Structure 1
Amino acid sequence: MSREKCYNRRDTSLTFVNGDDVLDFLCSDFKSLRAKMSCGHAVTPMSLTHWCRRLLDKGECRFVCGQTGCDVEWPFKEVCKMALLTPEEIKYFEKKMFDNATKNDFRVSISVPLETLRNCPDIVFEDVKGVTGCPSVRACPTCGVLLGHKKNLCKNTVCPRCKKEFCFVCLKLTAECQKLNPSSYYNECSTGVAPRQTSIPVWRRK
């Protein structure tokens, strides 16, 4: 049986409370102190880990509070910290998030850390010819939201956040990509595959 994870009472970055563990749906009565999430609800590392695993097992790729009436989405970075995820758990969560995201939609927004941009596998396009070595997750070059591509149809995608259309391969806006190589929706780009991103663009609204 795995050892129960508990918060360190000396951790000043946490806000401890005396309230109920709102994610302890099985009444496990975990021993850890209760700490507040960004939504204001109290959890323990174990209850949060179990809840997030349950979401992933249901096919979700986002982490939303399980308290009735609360639809706050927690950043993955917060989940990692508050659930005291081990390196093995983080790796498992990242893989499930990506797998779930690519199954749910043709082009999907996914909340995964920067490491995914560096370590995600290459995509093998079904309909785009001549492209190899393209990462399967990209940050929108305009607003920075992370996107996956489900391999089929053309190489361009429309960001659900900023609504800009860009090429998943060269990371240029579609209009610029097509200007350099007209009618290349299903072919390689004139500038080749953009390298893996090592930073996430900041959206500067005009």
Structure 2
Amino acid sequence: MEIIVYDAMDRRFLFGTVASLETGDHETSCGHVVKSSGLKQWCKALLDEGGFTFNCPKCAQEWPWQEVRKIAQLTQEECRSYEAQLHSIMKPKAKSYKKCPSCSLYVQRMDPEMLSVQCLPCSEKSDKSFQFCWECLREWKNADGQSDSCGNKSCSLTALLLSCGTIKQKRSEVYGCPKVRACPKCETLTQHCLSGCPDVLCPNCHHQFCYRCLGFEECNTNCCIAKRQKLTGIKDNKIKSFMG
């Protein structure tokens, strides 16, 4: 069978033949066989030149980043370094990459019409296919992987919480917070009026909480800004209004 080998010295791919697969040989998603040795240097060279797509040198089919990461046998440290570089390059094209909600490694979506995306490292670790929703970044619950619904409650609302912009008014005590938050008690979506203290009164359950840290006590700008939220769907979750 034919095998693809990257010559790191000459910075080019060579094509040879082998009788059988050996350790370090991988059959890729496009059906061709590639040897792992040298692929780290290929990835680094491509990223250094500003590239962010990894294509089979034989048929030009794009290999997903999660597959490249595996066949190049990147260490965790190399993976973090390469992904930091990849993140910088792909900012204008961020719609194609997101972090897996389970392992936090970057996953590339090959089909922009598909909401369900598989994480290969998580699938191999659990010995079953691990898929997550591209919109709400939660594990895919629908038995139909082709569906336009992930099966999680309030998917679109969680997607809003994860993707909304941040507050830009530097004089506001909620500067840098997401524009939309969910009440920690009932998960109603709400917004801060941008003036006064960081406390917010939920328009649904009247629970008072800090818009910055999501705590229950009165806070000020010294508290830490809590990370973006994902709705659980377990709580009351009566999404009915925003606080102006």
Is the pair's TM-score, using the shorter chain for normalization, greater than 0.5? no
What TM-score, normalized to structure 2? 0.38
Tell which structure's C-alpha radius of gyration is larger: 2
TM-score normalised according to structure 1 size: 0.44
Structure with the larger RCO, 1 or 2 (CA within 8 Å, 6+ apart): 1
